[in-house]
Structure 1
Amino acid sequence: MAAIDVDAAEAVANILKGLEVRRDSYTDQRFYPPPGDAVEDQVAYFVSMVAVDHRTSLWEPFEGVIEGEFFHGTDALYRLGRLAYDKGFFKARRLAELTPAEAEPLFTLGGRRLWDFHTRVLLLRDVGRKAAARGGFEALISVDSVKKLRDALSSFRAYEDPVGKKVMLLAKFLEGRGLASFRDSAEADVPVDNHLSRVAYRLGIVEIDFGFLESGVEVTREEDIRLRELVKTAWRIVAKFADLHPFALDDFLWNFGRKICKREGPQCGICPFREVCRAHRLGRYPPEHLHLLTWYY
């Protein structure tokens, strides 16, 4: 059904070598807590927000104006999260007993709830209860090992994805903020989401039948995991060829997928990869594979 094209991965990596790829420090205070706040509070925010950071739009977009500024999708979620943080929302014992009414301000925008509102409430309750049982958020994370971090969070429902999207996203945030310094960088990978899958398929670093992607047929949970593992491995190969940390590559790809290689109307005219892009060569721009009912990504 799909396979990694190492030659295509090397071609993409060679282009990346000539681009300015930098890691973010995640300090935009519209979305993230002040860096000088207590470590427990910062870690609580990131563990909790990443736990509910998955698909925001299904039937209709999650977007609207918040304090005079328009936000869409994940940006909207983190903007609401930042406002909730200022009200002391992300405390382990408070989350452990979270009610739907208390969660409304975090998951509602323009009078519309996120499509899986109650699932996200339950994920936060699970996070709160398990963090409280371990003495708080700071106590449950590993600050020097990606593998230990993944092991510590393996019992959390929000972090049970075998591909590890949310664990890797959390690790990226923690290290970027200076809350962790991982010695086992070989354990790091890009957090595979829809953007990274779509870009991998279009560039051709993962060879897959475009007709299948265009058909809109939903894949099973097992097929989804297998495809995302392929995408993760393909980007790991690209990162090695380009001599980039996977977290730096992810920062680049996430913005690239949202602004240039968009699901609808890709901006090929300004794409640095167009000369090696399978989709551009074929004139076909399929979406990512379809798997809807999940909180993994």
Structure 2
Amino acid sequence: MERACRRAMADDPDYFSADSVSRITGQQLRRILSDDFDPAHSTLDRVEERVKQLRDCGQCLSAQYDGDVMNLYRQADGYLHGERGILELMSEFKAYSDPIQKKSFLFLMFVSQAGIWKIKDPENLKVAVDYHIMRIALRSGMTKVGGTLERVLKERKEVDAATDTEVRGAVQEACDLLVRHSGHSVFEVDNILWMMGRNCCFYDHEPICGRNACFKEDRCTFIRSIVYDCPGKCLFDGACLGSLDEEYSKFWETNLYAEYY
């Protein structure tokens, strides 16, 4: 995505200005996110939903921040929390209205690591909890559930927004503890867990742990992104409860369609 956006900006430096984004079309979005600039070759899904959110972002930036996202940062004085902090200001954009603030924390990871924004209260940064990280937390035992909810998650039944927020909130709290006790930064923990969910514990195959040998070495993005001398099995194999108990490996993330994450 970064490469595609840089390519679009090379052709037009104002491509992602607030004014341009507020008028973006589905065809334009498909075009920049296709390898050959042919919209017909784009594999992007949920296009109209993404267009609606992008337009809202452009309109909000123009109306409230003179079209410059740096003005949002300045208005909050670099603080995530506090009166009118970054997180509260971002929540006014439809794309960032998630109560668990997944996209907000993901955005903050990018701008912080790039040195664009200096966060003055980094202790308030959290892991950006999405379905991959939920799956890891539930299967590993980082986050435990029981009763009816356990059955609902294992059977992949649809849940309501309140249940989704409750589960993701518990996962985020577990990730807070992992950051605190691991010695790794919140961004490192986020990247490790997300990459594990995208590779070892991906949703379209059995978890690569326990008796299941790895079959993805040639295309594994985890070992390309993390400094890890992979022995051919998941980093958490033997510690993750899902690798020791089949009942834990049956857990799935919450089943909810939500535009905000």
Q: Shared topology, TM-score over 0.5?
A: yes
Residue 241 (structure 2) aligns with: 278
* Structure 1 position 262 matched with structure 2 position 199: no
- Decide whether the 8 Å contact of 1:218 with 1:289 is kept in 2: no
Answer yes or no: is the 8 Å Cα contact 1:149–1:167 preserved in 2. Answer: no
Instruction: Give the match for residue 62 of structure 1.
Output: none
Over aligned residue pairs, what C-alpha RMSD do you find?
2.2
Deviation at 1:94, TM superposition (A): 0.7
Residues 216-235 of structure 1 mapped to structure 2, 5 A cutoff: 216-235=156-175
> What per-residue deviation string (whole Å, max 9, x for no partner) do you get for residues 132-156 of structure 1?
2211222223573223221221210
Alignment match of 2:79 (pick from 125, 129, 145): 145
Tell me which of 184, 203, 208 is aligned to 2:121.
184
- Matched ranges for 1:87-106 at <5 A: 87-88=11-12, 89-106=15-32
- Can you list the C-alpha shifts for 1:20-48, whole angstroms capped at 9, x where unaligned? xxxxxxxxxxx43xxxxxxxxxxxxxxxx
Larger radius of gyration: 2
Shift of 1:177: 0.3
Count how many residue pairs are aligned between Structure 1 and Structure 2: 221
C-alpha distance in structure 2 between counterparts of 1:146 and 1:172, whole Å: 12
1:190–1:247 contact (8 Å) kept in structure 2: yes
Structure 1 regions of 5+ residues with no counterpart? 1-30, 33-78
Higher relative contact order (CA 8 A, sep 6+): 1
Higher-strand-fraction structure = 1
Question: Residue 83 of structure 1 aligns with which residue?
Answer: 7
Structure 1 residues 239-248 or 150-159, which shifts more?
Answer: 239-248
Equivalences for 1:11-160 in 2 at 5 Å? 31-32=1-2, 79-88=3-12, 89-106=15-32, 111=41, 114-133=44-63, 134-135=65-66, 136-142=68-74, 144-147=78-81, 148-160=85-97
Q: What is the percent sequence identity of the aligned residues?
A: 26
**Partner Cα separation in structure 2 for residue 206 and residue 214 of structure 1:** 14
Q: 2:192 matched to which residue of 1? A: 252
What is the DSSP-based 3-state SS (H/G/I as helix, E as strand, rest coil) of the residue aligned with 1:244?
coil
Query: What stretches of structure 2 of length at least 5 have no aligned partner?
Result: 210-231
